[in-house]
Amino acid sequence: MKTLILKILAPAALAVGIGLAGSGAAQAQSCIDSSAEIQALISDGRIMSQYDAVAAAGYSADQILNFRLCDDGGRYVWIVGILSADGTAQNLTISAE
C-alpha cells in the first residue's frame, strides 16, 4: 500500500516542484495569463501553440507538465515543464515564434 501511495504522490510532488521552479524563471519575463490573449496570438499566426513548440523541440505533448507564455525581451517564448520517460523533469524555454 505504501508503495502504491508513493507511486501516486511522487509524480504529483514532482509536477508541483517543477511548477514552482518554473515560476522563478517566468518571473524574470512578462508572462501572459489570459487564455484569450494567447489564443488570439496563435490564431493570428504570431506564435505557435505550446504543443507545436514542444514537438519542434523534439518532445511529445504527453510529456508536458505545465506551460506559460512569456515575452522575453520582445520575443515570445514558452516556458514548459517536461517529464521524460525515465521520470526526470526539466524546464525548457522554447521559442514560440
Q: Which residue has the cell 501553440?
A: 49
Every domain of the chain and the residues it spans: 2-95
Query: Rounded CA gap, 86 and 97, in Å?
Result: 29
* pTM (two decimals): 0.69
Q: Read off the pLDDT of residues 30-63 as tens digits, 9 standing for 90 and up.
A: 999 999 999 999 999 999 999 999 999 999 999 9
Query: Rounded CA gap, 34 and 49, in Å?
Result: 14
Q: Read off the pLDDT of residues 8-33 as tens digits, 9 standing for 90 and up.
A: 444 544 444 445 445 444 445 799 99
CB contact at 8 A, 42 and 78: no
Give the count of alpha carbons within 13 A of 42, CB side only.
16
What is the sign, positive or negative, of the torsion defined by CA atoms of 28, 33, 54, 74? negative
The three-point CA angle 34-88-84 to 5° equals 70
Q: What is the pLDDT of residue 11?
A: 53
Count the neighbouring beta carbons within 10 Å of the beta carbon of residue 41. Answer: 19
